[in-house]
Amino acid sequence: MKKVIMTGNEAIARGAYEAGCHVASAYPGTPSTEILENFAKYEGVYAEWAPNEKVGLEVSSGASIGGARALCTMKHVGLNVAADPLFTMAYEGVNGGLVVVTADDPGMHSSQNEQDNRYYAPHAKVALVEPSDSQECIDYMKEAYEISEKYDTVVLFRVTTRVCHSKSIVELNDRKDVEVKPYEKNVKKYIMTPANSKAKHYEVEERLEKLRQYSNNCKLNRIEMGDTKIGIITNGVSYQYCKEVFGDSASYLKIGFSYPLPDEMIKDFAAKVDKLYVIEENDPYIETVVKALGIKCTGKEIIPICEELNPTIIRKAILKEEPVIKYHSDVRPPSRPPVLCPGCPHRGIFYAVSKYKDVISTSDIGCYTLGMNPPLNVGDTVICMGASISGGIGIERASIVAKREGKKVFAFIGDSTFFHSGVTGLINSVYNNTPIVTVILDNRITGMTGHQENPGTGKTLQNKPAPMVDIEALAISCGIRKENIRVVDPYKLEETEKAVKEAHESTEPFVIITKQPCALIKEVAKRRAKLSCKVNEEKCKKCKMCLKTGCPALKMQNGVVSIDESMCNGCELCKQVCPFEAIEKVGE
């Protein structure tokens, strides 16, 4: 038995491996991404990046029906995309165990909302498991597969950013040898026509009662008795915070299996303590059930509903103790909002579009969202994956209905996001003849989540060669006329500006595809390592035109414009923008 230190994500992958999981499919999304990346490294398993979370869960569902233990992982908003198969698989049940990881993001470190996905479990009527550290990620994952197969249910495995990325000591064990179960045709179980699903709903309700009994007697829920003046019902990483604040000076009901909640355990625990608190991040999921049982408790009256918890917040809320500041510094760190990287290929197209003041630019989820920042200011909306195109169509249609003239919609979307859920929006623009401009930013990688492969990169998750989806051919097959497509190198400003001008003047659906790999891809960074630009101070007129590109490698200090050579990768956009030829290329 070997002990190592693992993040929660590494431990989830290890737990799935030790549990005998055979097939895993996912779409990358922080804070869940590293689960599949680590699972893919193990021998004897199959792991893939799917185009989106819905496809990922459908692949995993099919594998489960086929008899294999299967895993699907995603960030919290990804479960919205995968909700359709989740709700139906709740009725169908499983053959091989099926575990779906939802990685929630309290505090919205890298997300557009703070939804609490625990509510998906009662809504879909599936079991819900929540670990609080890396060891529990392993242990609970193995238990989740046993629950799934014993109770014929999908198991939702909910973690949060702090659990995903924190590290703790774990014990490694050998992989369980789990045979793939035989597949047997069963129309009543696996074909959800109304007649079959009506019968299955009764089975689902019977299953939930069995799961409720399990919840009250399982090892994932436990009572830890200490001082009985304070009793705390808690879950996930909040349990760790509570233990840090109260230690043995409180008693705990730690919830690890949280749907159905252990109603009898809750009643028993509440009767043993003088004052009961429910401490959980975000929504009052547990608290609402406790109060519905007629039990008096204190929760969101004093525990904030927004953002992450921490020991200081809990200590102040319950013990009324202010944090003790042990040291003080007058130095304040500068604000560092996220920006497009130096040499980012997206900057050229954004700069070209920024010249048009009559453009409404709908953006999407990815690095290119950062085009919204000054001085580029290219970005009016961000909703969800793929919504730049379909949302842009809506804005254009609203303008047509209102007879607002003089505005042109440019919808920006990355290659991976286009494959994820942008294709249908493009089809809609063709089908309904909506004259928006779709800009597909092909940087040959899934960038913001950490450089994962996608259908356009030519490699799979397990580093095997794969066909590269041709975005231009795909756009043509969607119905975009070839004469309304421009493929440009965004490092070449003249051809990029020409394409933007033609798109701006078009009265039909139009597509611009920018093709230049992400500047941070290792091979690209190595190839461009000796390239940079520098300012010739004798020629520089300090007009600040170069600064309008928004490149962080450029700066003006004491009235002098300079380029940080250590940041610059020689993309030459600033050189092309400079009207006085004061910027020169260095290196070859």
Strand ranges in 352-466 using DSSP code E only, listed in sequence order: 359-362, 408-414, 437-442
Report how far residue 561's alpha carbon sits from residue 538's, in angstroms, rounded to the nearest whole number.
11
* Contact status, residue 480 vs residue 473, Cβ threshold 8 Å: no
Are 110 and 166 part of one and the same domain? yes
Does the residue 341 lie in any domain?
A: no
Of 524, 539, 555, at which residue does a domain stop?
524
Are 70 and 136 part of one and the same domain? yes
Residue 501 half-sphere exposure, CB side, CA atoms within 13 Å? 6
Q: How many C-beta atoms surround the C-beta of residue 186 within 10 A?
A: 11
Does the residue 294 lie in any domain?
A: yes
Predicted pLDDT of residue 325: 78
Provide the CATH number for the domain around residue 261. 3.40.50.920
Q: What share of residues in the chain are helix, strand, coil (percent, to 5)?
A: 40, 20, 40
Report how far residue 239's alpha carbon sits from residue 255's, in angstroms, rounded to the nearest whole number.
9
Are 544 and 441 part of one and the same domain? no
pLDDT along the chain (588 residues), means of 10: 95 98 98 98 98 98 98 98 98 98 96 97 98 98 98 98 98 97 97 97 98 98 98 98 97 98 98 98 98 98 97 96 83 86 97 97 96 96 97 96 90 98 98 98 95 97 97 98 98 98 98 97 94 96 96 94 95 97 91
Q: Can the peptide bond before residue 375 be classed as cis, meaning omega within 30 degrees of 0?
A: yes
Report how far residue 163's alpha carbon sits from residue 35's, in angstroms, rounded to the nearest whole number.
12
Residue 313 half-sphere exposure, CB side, CA atoms within 13 Å? 16
Does the residue 337 lie in any domain?
A: no
Q: How many C-beta atoms surround the C-beta of residue 206 within 10 A?
A: 10
Does the residue 266 lie in any domain?
A: yes
- Alpha-carbon distances of 15 from 9, 170, 337, rounded to whole Å: 10, 10, 36
- Alpha-carbon distances of 290 from 234, 242, 278, rounded to whole Å: 12, 18, 9
DSSP-derived secondary structure letter, 339: -
Q: Across the beta sheet with 510-515, what order do the strands follow?
A: 359-362, 408-414, 437-442, 510-515, 485-488
| Among candidate residues 348, 337, 385, 338, the one with its CA nearest the CA of residue 364 | 385
- Alpha-carbon distances of 243 from 83, 133, 311, 319, 534, rounded to whole Å: 35, 13, 9, 14, 55
pTM, full prediction: 0.95
* Contact status, residue 259 vs residue 214, Cβ threshold 8 Å: no
Of 524, 556, 578, at which residue does a domain stop?
524
Predicted pLDDT of residue 323: 82
| Among candidate residues 490, 491, 520, the one with its CA nearest the CA of residue 367 | 520
Report how far residue 95's alpha carbon sits from residue 115's, in angstroms, rounded to the nearest whole number.
30
Predicted pLDDT of residue 587: 82
Are 111 and 51 part of one and the same domain? yes
Are 233 and 307 part of one and the same domain? yes
Name the residue with tokens 């260095």.
Answer: 586
Provide the CATH number for the domain around residue 89. 3.40.50.970
Q: Give the length of the chain.
A: 588
Are 387 and 449 part of one and the same domain? yes
Strands 510-515 and 485-488: parallel
Long-range contacts of 290-296 (CB under 8 A, 24+ apart): 290/233, 290/266, 293/263, 293/266, 293/267, 295/266, 295/267, 295/270
Quote the domain boundaries for residue 549: 529-586
Does the residue 15 lie in any domain?
A: yes
Does the residue 352 lie in any domain?
A: yes
Are 67 and 180 part of one and the same domain? yes
Are 307 and 354 part of one and the same domain? no
Predicted pLDDT of residue 80: 98
* Contact status, residue 376 vs residue 449, Cβ threshold 8 Å: no
Does the residue 358 lie in any domain?
A: yes
Provide the CATH number for the domain around residue 573. 3.30.70.20
Report how far residue 409's alpha carbon sits from residue 393's, in angstroms, rounded to the nearest whole number.
8
Q: Please give the tally of structural domains in the chain.
A: 4
- The burial class, CB within 10 Å (0-12 / 13-18 / 19+), for 107 is middle
Are 164 and 15 part of one and the same domain? yes
Are 422 and 357 part of one and the same domain? yes
Are 83 and 183 part of one and the same domain? yes
Does the residue 272 lie in any domain?
A: yes
Residue 97 half-sphere exposure, CB side, CA atoms within 13 Å? 26
Are 563 and 429 part of one and the same domain? no
Predicted pLDDT of residue 548: 96
φ, ψ for residue 510 (rounded to 5)? Answer: -135, 145
Of 502, 524, 546, at which residue does a domain stop?
524
Long-range contacts of 14-17 (CB under 8 A, 24+ apart): 14/38, 14/137, 14/138, 14/170, 14/172, 15/137, 15/138, 15/139, 15/140, 15/141, 15/142, 16/71, 16/99, 16/141, 17/42, 17/45, 17/175
